[in-house]
Amino acid sequence: MTPPERLRALLAEPGFVPMPAVWDGLTAKMTAAAGFQTAFLSGSCVAASRLGGPDLDLLSFGEMFDSFSLARAAAPDLLLLADCDHGYGNVMNVQRTVSAYGRAGAAAVLVEDKLTPRALTSAGKPTISRGEARMKIRAAVEAAKESGVLVLARTDCRPTLGIDEAVARIEMYREEGADILFLDSPADREEMLRASAAAAGKPSFIVLVPGSERLPTRGEAEQLGFKIGTYPQATLNAVIGAVSQGLDAVEKEDAAAAPASIAPREMMRILGYEDYEARVSRFVAGDTNA
């Protein structure tokens, strides 16, 4: 089965599908080793790791695609949702982006209705018109037919245009053939219910944070009608905290300052040193002078 076919089958099974965020080979490999079947190649996490900066539409398609390629190579069985952001331009850019990810083995792609180029401010999420948004998702769905990659259609218009417009866009995306629907920044559980209801049976996607009081738990999200969700902060925040601890340990010359650290042998196991030795042993020459 292809990655999109496997994801479709997984979404057809009972239960909520948790999707940790990844951004490179190591995070993808560890996610797969932890038993997760899916992961989200998160734009915010890639921006943090590659640029050391915020998620404010500064990443290019090439940078995101390179990160996807690294993650896919390190964990080929992991079903990856690729963050395509706004598609990196007009509808033709959207089609090129979706086609590229589909050919490269993505299980799904995320396309959203944010305005591009972004206004020169970090505040708010201005979006394109409803008509333009329809054409972007229509273009994405058409391009996805080549590979079968699933299209996750996201609307960011809730903070600026209100929940009624956001729900109308979800309904529109469903009509255009999007496979998964996503309302970003719902204000409360009532709005979450409206979003999942607007999907009318198609899978709804949600962003979750472990231990959050504002956001639902995985079980609550499923009760609200959501089928699949990501945890972008869970891994990135932990990594930033661990690096800070490591730097503190160097400064203090005290390993106890980095409680998140693991033993060198465990690190070598995770990185696959033994696997490498097993593979390379087949190619070690005998007498090189013979």
Look at residue 163 and tell me if it is in a domain. yes
Look at residue 288 and tell me if it is in a domain. no
Q: What percent of the chain has pLDDT over 70?
A: 99
Are the C-beta atoms of 23 and 237 separated by less than 8 Å?
A: no
Please name every residue paired with 228 in a beta bridge, in sequence order, or none if there are none. Answer: 17, 205
pTM of the model: 0.95
Look at residue 287 and tell me if it is in a domain. no
Domain count, the chain: 2
Last residue of a domain, one of 232, 253, 274: 232
Look at residue 63 and tell me if it is in a domain. yes
pLDDT single digits (tens) 247-279: 999 999 999 999 999 999 999 999 999 999 999
β-pairing verdict for 180-183 and 204-207: parallel
Look at residue 93 and tell me if it is in a domain. yes
How far apart are the C-alpha atoms of 262 and 266, rounded to whole Å? 6
Answer yes or no: do 122 and 147 share one domain. Answer: yes
Answer yes or no: do 188 and 226 share one domain. Answer: yes
pLDDT single digits (tens) 93-137: 999 999 999 999 999 999 999 998 888 777 878 999 999 999 999
How far apart are the C-alpha atoms of 194 and 99, rounded to whole Å? 31
Look at residue 13 and tell me if it is in a domain. yes
Are the C-beta atoms of 33 and 269 separated by less than 8 Å?
A: no
Look at residue 244 and tell me if it is in a domain. yes
Answer yes or no: do 100 and 225 share one domain. Answer: yes
| DSSP annotation of 78 | S
Answer yes or no: do 33 and 155 share one domain. Answer: yes
- Give the up-direction half-sphere exposure of residue 202: CA atoms within 13 A in the CB hemisphere: 21
Task: Give the domain range for residue 72.
Answer: 3-232
CATH number at residue 220: 3.20.20.60
**Dihedral angle of Cα 53, 19, 173, 177, to the nearest 10 degrees:** 130
- Closest to 60 in 3D by CA, of 96, 9, 32, 35: 96
Answer yes or no: do 183 and 227 share one domain. Answer: yes
Give the tokens for residue 44: 């915010």
